Structure 1
């Protein structure tokens, strides 16, 4: 079974405007409300691709109920810890000449509720996959990723981590199965601006030396690079298409990789191509990628 953890889920209010003018009344010409959060996105795309997963994390209030309702509509199983106070955050994503985001802060999470999440994670068994993705709300300790991975260490659980800088660097000692920084995040970890494949591969190998097993680097319109634990490397250009919505594209790449890896019995090259195809399919659509959209792009890659 695949499990995903989203520590700070959201309802994303997505709007499009012809133009945005600060300090004035702005009227939208398109709006949509979607459940958001990196782990949630991974679970939804996995379901679209035909794979089951269980979404974990914390939910609160009326927004939390709507997030659960949307997951039920997608057919995604969830076992969120319900918080007694506050509400899950609302993020506003306004798309005009540029994209502007206003992200909520989310509810308080007590130590007791953290313990309830750990109890759920303790049920994972050998062969299961856990996806830890996204930022940590201010009411959780900075080392929450480390605490989870230390708790599950040496239990035969594949752990995927998609997080920024120190959140990612601090867990490499637990040898995650897969990490997925983008090229900008990768450069930031080493205080560099990476401009060539060689520079990206050099930094990615340093992450392997620190403990990461497989490293998947997304590069938006420039495609992606995969370095595997057995020393192989793969490079894939991005499929051709019009960028419609970049939100969730990286999460879709993770979901596509896991789907491809599972269905092929561990073929890294196929998993890599499926990840690139699925991430691109989401970027070319208003919504997260479907199986048909991902497979259509996969054929252009393979």
Structure 2
């Protein structure tokens, strides 16, 4: 079974207008509500690629109800811990200048954290995959991420992690199956400036030495580099298209990679679908459709550059 974890999900209220006048009444031309969160994005894309999965984390209040309803409409099974608080709402203003106002989110109580760990302790079995994406919610620390990684290792479950440098590096000792830093995060982890593919490979291998089994480094317009636990290094190209919205592109890359790897066990095919999935979401309003992913896969080239 595939599980995703989003510790601090959100409802994104997206408001579109021509111009914002601060200090005055503004009216929008169009608004929409979107279930947000990196793990939630992964769940949606996994399902669109044909993989049943269970979305977990913490939800509460009317906004939490909206997220659960949205996931069910996508065919994703929600198994969130119900908290006595309202899931955050972020405001995204799309006008002459884009403005985002992100809420902190509710403080997660230790009793609710324990409920989630108890759930995973009961349901996880060898061969499952857990994807943990995003940053910690208020009330949580890196110890909670490490505990998830440790539980997955003890259950022989593949653990996939996409988070900030501190949370990511804290979990490396438990040998996550896949991590996905971008070039900037790679620079931050090692306190260097990573400019070249050779440097990406060098520092990616250092992450493997610290425990990561497979490493994808996303490079924006330069594609992505994959370092495998069997020693190969691959680079993907980028398809042509107009970037509409980069939100969720990295999440889609990871989900697309994992979906194909579960099916084939082949790294090249998995990187190709991951790259196509990330680009497809970047070229879309919201998370990509399978149809667009299948179309872009034909444009992706994978070359072996090491190993």
Q: Same fold (TM over 0.5)?
A: yes
Which residue does 2:49 correspond to in 1? 49
Query: TM-score, normalised on structure 1?
Result: 0.95
Which residue does 2:78 correspond to in 1? 78
1:280 is paired with a residue of what secondary structure? helix
Which residue does 1:149 correspond to in 2? 149
Which residue does 1:30 correspond to in 2? 30
Which residue does 1:115 correspond to in 2? 114
2:159 is paired with a residue of what secondary structure? strand
* Corresponding position: 1:169 with 2:164: no
CA drift at 1:98: 4.4
- Is 27-36 or 291-300 further displaced after alignment? 27-36
Q: Deviations over 1:239-281 (max 9, x none)?
A: 11001111111111111001111222x0011000100001100
- Is 105-114 or 62-71 further displaced after alignment? 105-114
For 1:240 and 1:230, locate their aligned partners in 2 and report how far apart those are by CA, in whole Å.
31
For 2:20 and 2:279, locate their aligned partners in 1 and report how far apart those are by CA, in whole Å.
27
Q: Deviations over 1:218-244 (max 9, x none)?
A: 122221111101110111121110011
Which residue does 2:158 correspond to in 1? 158
1:171 is paired with a residue of what secondary structure? helix
For these two proteins, the number of residue pairs brought into alignment is: 300
For 1:201 and 1:98, locate their aligned partners in 2 and report how far apart those are by CA, in whole Å.
37
For 2:220 and 2:91, locate their aligned partners in 1 and report how far apart those are by CA, in whole Å.
22
Which residue does 1:235 correspond to in 2? 235
Contact 2:142 2:166 in 1 (8 A): no
CA drift at 1:97: 4.5
Q: Deviations over 1:90-110 (max 9, x none)?
A: 111223344322111212221
Which residue does 2:91 correspond to in 1? 92
CA drift at 1:24: 4.1
1:140 is paired with a residue of what secondary structure? coil
Which residue does 2:103 correspond to in 1? 104
Which residue does 1:136 correspond to in 2? 136
For 1:125 and 1:99, locate their aligned partners in 2 and report how far apart those are by CA, in whole Å.
44
Query: TM-score, normalised on structure 2?
Result: 0.94
Contact 1:253 1:278 in 2 (8 A): yes
For 1:114 and 1:298, locate their aligned partners in 2 and report how far apart those are by CA, in whole Å.
39
CA drift at 1:130: 0.3
Which residue does 1:200 correspond to in 2? 200
- Is 133-142 or 58-67 further displaced after alignment? 133-142
Which residue does 2:268 correspond to in 1? 269
Contact 1:60 1:107 in 2 (8 A): no
Q: Relative to 1, partners in 2 of residues 1:224 and 1:110: Cα closer, same or farther, differing over 3 Å?
A: same
Shift >6 Å, 4+ stretches: none
Q: Deviations over 1:143-197 (max 9, x none)?
A: 2100111233232100000001110001000000000111111111112232211
Q: Deviations over 1:64-95 (max 9, x none)?
A: 001101011111001100012x2000111223
For 1:52 and 1:174, locate their aligned partners in 2 and report how far apart those are by CA, in whole Å.
26
Which residue does 1:283 correspond to in 2? 282
For 1:195 and 1:98, locate their aligned partners in 2 and report how far apart those are by CA, in whole Å.
30
Structure 1 unaligned residues grouped into runs of 5+: none
Which residue does 1:210 correspond to in 2? 210
For 1:95 and 1:180, locate their aligned partners in 2 and report how far apart those are by CA, in whole Å.
28
Which residue does 2:300 correspond to in 1? 301
Contact 1:57 1:80 in 2 (8 A): yes
For 1:24 and 1:232, locate their aligned partners in 2 and report how far apart those are by CA, in whole Å.
57
